[in-house]
Amino acid sequence: MKKIVFFLSAIFIFLAVSTIFAQEKEKKKEPVKPALLVIDIQNKFLPFMDKDDKEMGMMVINGVISAFRGQNLPIIRVYHTSPGWGPEPGTEDFEFPESVLIKDEDPKIVKNFPSAFQKTELDKILKEKGVNTLFLCGLSSVGCVLATYFGGVERDYKVFMIKSGIFSHNAEYTNVVEDITETVSYQTMGFMLENLKK
């Protein structure tokens, strides 16, 4: 009797595993459909960032914007304001520096919370564009960028930080963030974009 129970259990397990394996094999791999989020590089906040990281970060951000633009991929600019604290929309403090290669037609998100997903239209915009993968750059690596990273993960996006494209008031903190999140270099990101299935 024990042998029969063992034999039937083994068959059941084999069939269950085979079914799961067959279902996984049948699933088609979804093509990567990326968007770039350029987060909070506003005139108000930039002076508080680590100087060396900021200089490199701004160069990397413009390089990343150019790479996305060259592949005709979505670039979404994200701005932070806090009611009563600012910076106020429409002021110079609120804007990105003129040296940043964004365009007026790039979708714009204005947020009041660290995560660009919280109480904004970001998730809706991404879904409308068919986006499933996010690349993040901007500031602060330990604040709004990190909150947006986890907001994306929670919503089932594949999310990558761009190495040297994020920065904060302390370079050591940024290094820790790059260590604990999925981070890609500018070169790796470029390779991924060039090899997208269109």
Kindly report the CATH number assigned to the domain that includes residue 113: 3.40.50.850
- pLDDT tens readout for residues 141-160: 999 999 999 999 999 999 99
C-beta separation of 159 from 152 below 8 A: yes
Residue 20 within any structural domain of the chain? no
Is residue 18 situated within a structural domain?
Answer: no
Distance in angstroms (rounded) separating the CA atoms of residues 58 and 97: 10
pTM: 0.85
Per the domain annotation, does 170 fall within a domain? yes
Q: Which strands sit side by side in the sheet containing 183-184, from one edge to the other?
A: 108-111, 75-80, 34-39, 133-139, 158-167, 183-184
Mean pLDDT of 82-89: 91
pLDDT band, very low/low/confident/very high, at 17 (cuts 50, 70, 90): very low
Range of the domain at 63: 30-194
Question: How far, in Å, CA of 33 to CA of 52, rounded?
Answer: 32
Q: Which amino acid is located at 6 in the chain?
A: F
- Going by pLDDT thresholds of 50, 70 and 90, the confidence category of residue 20 is very low
Residue 150, domain member (yes or no):
yes
Q: How far is CA 69 from CA 48, 52, 100, 121, 158, in A?
A: 29, 26, 13, 22, 20
How many domains is the chain built from? 1
Helices (H) and strands (E) in the chain, counts: 6, 6
Is 184 inside any structural domain? yes
How many Cβ atoms from other residues are within 10 Å of residue 100's Cβ? 16
Mean pLDDT of 64-74: 97
**Looking at residue 3, what is its pLDDT?**
52
DSSP letter at 95 equals: S
Q: Is residue 100 part of a domain?
A: yes
Whether residue 96 is contained in a domain is answered as yes
Between 184 and 195, the more confident residue is 184
Residue 146 placed within a domain: yes
Largest Cα–Cα separation, the chain:
82
